[in-house]
Structure 1
Amino acid sequence: MVLATDQLARRTGAQLRDRFRRVWMNVLLALQTGVAAGLAWLIAHEVIGHRAPFFAPIAAVITLAVSVGQRLRRAFELVFGVAIGIAVGDVLIYLIGTGPWQIGLVVALAIVTAIFVGSGSALVTQAASSAVLVATLTPPAAAGVSYDRFVDALVGGLVGLGVMALLLPLNPLTVVGRAARPALDVLAEGLTETAEALAARDLERVDAALARLRAAESDLRTLEEAIGAASETAALAPVRWRTRGALNQYVDAAEYIARALRNSRVLVRRSQALLRDGEALPQPLVEAVRALGEAVSWLRRELAGAVEPVAARERALRAASEAGIAYEEGVDFSGSVIVAQVRSAAVDLVRASGLDGKEAHRLVRRAVGRHVPPDRR
């Protein structure tokens, strides 16, 4: 009973910490959205003179809340989708009245118009939902069609974009660093765990490492989305222009991080086969895999510190060198595949450190080749 109570307390505490962490990470987003909603209402009400411009703050909130981590095009789709839905709804409901078939016709025509303007899913969805809102909650008055709501939607959307880009813009390096950490940590830990498992000839630990690496695909997608959003912020927000150099390191490295992850999964699968088949396992092969894990750890730290990843590059080349020693000492079929995958992953990590393909291949080939006879390179 006491044990169960302790476990429940630990789980509850962990959940609370996770929730507080998520709140803290999104405080700036909440502040951005609140400021945008207030500014949108202020401009539409006080500057333009609309009596109750509730579509303005709605459009501002939708733009900021839904476009987090998305492309700038996505935000524009939201803005103009809302505006199209309102415009189509206003005109048609004024002409044909309200009712079930009128609502259906309004939604259908709003979608068709949105597809004609641009077939993005966000634009189509927002056009349809805005048309429904107009047709059911706020149909146009008998005095005629008013374009106030169309203008309000544009004002709100543009205010949202302005706040996102110019006022309180998110720090691109924080966004990308936060997204890169899980992907790189999983890769580093998976390789390190594989090296330890090979040293202990523990097949179950290799299986667990492979499962973790397979689950890291979602982390890669998150990183790609974060890089896209951060690149846009760095391009649009003057106060974030100074981050573009450091951000470019992440942009250049992302493709090769993904390649290293996929090459590492092949490496771990062959490690399973090596242990199952009882093949030869020279100690340098274990050290090669461990050095790859260290290279990934250093890559994460150096990218986060906005410095050239020299330490990551050195450890990737050391991994290639240890793989060459293992090959010279003698490996069987699966061992030779692991050597090849260490070499491929080392090239990926050297390229992620900022070198071009020709130089990366030359350095890795030299690191491996100094230990392998010319007729076996």
Structure 2
Amino acid sequence: MSAEAAAGARTRVLLETRFRQGLSRVHAGWFPILQAAIAAGIAFGLARYVANHPYPFFAPVCAWVALGFTADRSVRRVAELAVGVAIGVALGDVLVRLIGNGIWQVAVVLFLAATIARFIDRGVLLTTQAGVQALVIVGLPALTASGGPLGRWIDAAIGGAVALVVALLTPRDPRRRSRALARTACDELAGVLRLFGRGLLTGSSDDVEDALVRARASQPAFDEWSETAKNAGELARISPTIRRFRDELAALEGRAVLVDRAMRNTRVLVRRSLAAVEAGTHDLSAVGAHVDATARAAAELAAALGSGREPARARSELLAIAQALDPYALDDWQVQSLVLLQRSLVVDLLEAAGTERQAARDALPEI
């Protein structure tokens, strides 16, 4: 394959990976986006037709900002954002009337808004929104003014109240989002391993390069899973309504770290294998068979975590793979080094499947 064709193939793999991740985000986010959009419309209607404000700019802004566009909505987070917007709007309104707007006024308003927000609460989101909304007031005083001296603050309060009501009344299972992201991330790992294994079995350096491109492009899926699982775990520790899910959420948080580590090990393994494939090294088919089996186990792990069931089958498959990873069964030192790297990958996946760390290490042949 020419260099130009190879570059085109790598671009195709990258675009396919991004497309899959985009579809996954849309599938997970369309309903929260719809909720936030409807809440913003309701806030606008209340401010315009109930409070009689002709230009209620901050009502939909506050509702939209507070709810966001993901299902990962804790009441605390929504409250932080809503209060932050309200503080920024109120402070900006007061200071603009007292000192006007200009270069030094922008600095003063931003400093005071952030300082007051930090005094009220430790939340970063609250402080950020307080500063941003205060700057909006200072920068666009005439455009957004409506409803008298407190009009803009009332609009923000309406939007924040609507957002809080939606957050409190929306039924949600915090495990659902973490499970879906776990499935997506593990499926990405399985896809990379499948493509990589095929390259080793057929001696195709193009497949190995494509696997590396896909592995690098898939990192956002792992980052999103890790962040969402961490947030859900923190919420479960303080929320009485979802405390019963605390153990599973903690397990998903730990598994996110382990599977991310497995993907990082996979990238190292793929990079190290590329030179061996290009050199036509013998015995790579044995490594390829192990990689292909690991891909199937990762796909089974994805199905188990995504459905919330115990990954017993994935654990059994991974234990069998681990027991076969003996570098001394191969003669070529370069291939032996690849087997050593794969041992780390399989141990990470075994731990993600619920095996104790020492037990996972003990399953490997002694070296």
Hey, what does 1:30 align to over in structure 2?
A: 34
| C-alpha deviation, 1:345, in angstroms | 0.8
Unaligned 5+ residue runs, structure 1? 1-14, 370-376
| C-alpha deviation, 1:34, in angstroms | 1.7
Unaligned 5+ residue runs, structure 2? 1-18, 119-123
CA root-mean-square deviation: 3.5
The question of whether the paired residues in 2 share the 8 Å contact of 1:67 and 1:75 is answered with: no
Hey, what does 1:157 align to over in structure 2?
A: 160
Hey, what does 2:11 align to over in structure 1?
A: none
Q: Distance in 2 between matches of 1:123 and 1:333?
A: 60
Hey, what does 1:285 align to over in structure 2?
A: 287
The question of whether the paired residues in 2 share the 8 Å contact of 1:298 and 1:311 is answered with: yes
| C-alpha deviation, 1:306, in angstroms | 0.9
Mark the CA change 1:283 to 1:201 in structure 2 (over 3 Å): closer, same or farther: closer
Letter in 2 for 1:268: V
Q: Distance in 1 between matches of 2:251 and 2:259?
A: 12
SS at match of 1:279: coil
Asked if residue 60 in structure 1 is aligned to residue 67 in structure 2, the reply is: no
Q: Distance in 1 between matches of 2:73 and 2:28?
A: 21
SS at match of 1:26: helix
Hey, what does 2:210 align to over in structure 1?
A: 208
The question of whether the paired residues in 2 share the 8 Å contact of 1:319 and 1:342 is answered with: no
Hey, what does 2:135 align to over in structure 1?
A: 128
Hey, what does 2:250 align to over in structure 1?
A: 248
CA displacement, residues 14-70 of structure 1 (integer Å, 9 cap, x when unaligned): x9xx8899478513431354246536965x799xx8543934443122211367658
| C-alpha deviation, 1:230, in angstroms | 4.0
Letter in 2 for 1:38: I
CA displacement, residues 210-266 of structure 1 (integer Å, 9 cap, x when unaligned): 111111112212222332454466567776555544433321200001100011111
Hey, what does 2:261 align to over in structure 1?
A: 259
* Max Rg structure: 1
Segment of structure 1 superposing worse, 52-61 or 183-192: 52-61
Letter in 2 for 1:82: V
Letter in 2 for 1:334: Q
Mark the CA change 1:173 to 1:57 in structure 2 (over 3 Å): closer, same or farther: same
TM-score by length of 2: 0.77
Letter in 2 for 1:270: R
Hey, what does 1:352 align to over in structure 2?
A: 352
Write out aligned runs for 1:268-283 (5 A).
268-281=270-283, 283=285
The question of whether the paired residues in 1 share the 8 Å contact of 2:32 and 2:70 is answered with: no
Q: Distance in 2 between matches of 1:249 and 1:261?
A: 18
Q: Distance in 1 between matches of 2:59 and 2:176?
A: 30
Segment of structure 1 superposing worse, 179-188 or 60-69: 60-69
Which residue of 86, 110, 129 maps to 1:83? 86
The question of whether the paired residues in 2 share the 8 Å contact of 1:114 and 1:127 is answered with: yes
Hey, what does 2:96 align to over in structure 1?
A: 93
The question of whether the paired residues in 2 share the 8 Å contact of 1:90 and 1:135 is answered with: no
Matched-pair identity in %: 30
Count matched residues.
337
Mark the CA change 1:264 to 1:234 in structure 2 (over 3 Å): closer, same or farther: same
Hey, what does 1:194 align to over in structure 2?
A: 196
SS at match of 1:313: helix
Letter in 2 for 1:85: G
Which residue of 299, 302, 305 maps to 1:300? 302
Mark the CA change 1:246 to 1:305 in structure 2 (over 3 Å): closer, same or farther: farther
TM-score by length of 1: 0.75
Mark the CA change 1:21 to 1:107 in structure 2 (over 3 Å): closer, same or farther: closer
Hey, what does 1:334 align to over in structure 2?
A: 334
SS at match of 2:338: helix
CA displacement, residues 314-363 of structure 1 (integer Å, 9 cap, x when unaligned): 22222222222xx232242321221111110111111112233233323x
The question of whether the paired residues in 2 share the 8 Å contact of 1:249 and 1:303 is answered with: no
The question of whether the paired residues in 2 share the 8 Å contact of 1:81 and 1:125 is answered with: no
Mark the CA change 1:306 to 1:24 in structure 2 (over 3 Å): closer, same or farther: closer
